[in-house]
Amino acid sequence: MFVTGLLLGADSSPRLGAPWQLLAYNGETLLGASLRTARECGFDQLVVTLGSASEQVQDRVDLDGVRVVESPHADTSSSSIVPALDAVDRRTDGIIVMLGDQPGVTSAAVWSLVAEASTPIGLCRYDDGESYPCWFGRELFGELRGLRSDSDVWSLVEDGGHPVTKVDAIGNIPTRVTTWPEYHELLGTAAPAEELPLDTHPVRASRARTRRRFSY
């Protein structure tokens, strides 16, 4: 089976006021940490979407061996999955969709999903709910091209039009970072009185403990 990993890193987080992709985490950037996990999965192809912060990200994050897809309109909630499909290898049997702001996802969860998903859609079932990473077989690429936003993939899951395989994953849903409280929850630190963007908490980031919560 030929599997493409698709790491979504194009959207912005207005509530952060800074590119979430470059926030410090475990001695690297948040997107870099998620990308490292994606590389550990051993995908046949790895695609990463980047948005308005693309130039900054490419200056700071190692993207060697990764197919980068520019999706500047993701900041207005347009789907970055749609342009990414044009970069997917024609041999691909399906894609695993991962989030760049969810570094707590493990390669073991991805391997289980690839091994056990026997339907057009597969998703991870954590102790507190269902979330990414998700599997979408090639037969769904046509419908994926009709997405208005990346979060609309869940409409394909929920509308009942396709069988779904739910694969058990260990623990709770890994934390996403869309707000400063979520970022500090991920780091296991108390939020400072004044929030500072980018690499302003490198010491704390290197000592981070990963905590998890329910979040799509």
Neighbour order of strands in the sheet with 67-70: 67-70, 45-50, 3-9, 94-99, 129-137, 121-126, 164-168
Unique residue bearing structure tokens 């912005």 = 12
- Structural domains in the chain? 3-206 (3.90.550.10)
Q: Is 0.85 topped by the overall pTM?
A: yes
- pLDDT at residue 211 is higher than 70: no
pLDDT digits (tens, 9 = 90+) for 145-162: 999 999 999 999 998 889
Residue 102 and residue 124 in contact, taking contact as beta carbons nearer than 8 Å: no
- pLDDT score, position 138: 96
- pLDDT at residue 190 is higher than 80: no
Unique residue bearing structure tokens 């890193």 = 9
Share of the chain above pLDDT 90, in %: 76
Q: How far apart are CA 16 and CA 12, in angstroms?
A: 9
Tokens of residue 79, six digits: 């789907």
- pLDDT at residue 204 is higher than 60: no
Q: How far apart are CA 112 and CA 7, in angstroms?
A: 18
When pLDDT is cut at 50, 70 and 90, the band that residue 133 belongs to is very high
Mean pLDDT of the chain: 87
Which of the two residues, 38 and 212, has the higher pLDDT score? 38
Q: How far apart are CA 174 and CA 43, in angstroms?
A: 21
Tokens of residue 27, six digits: 């001695």
- pLDDT at residue 173 is higher than 80: yes
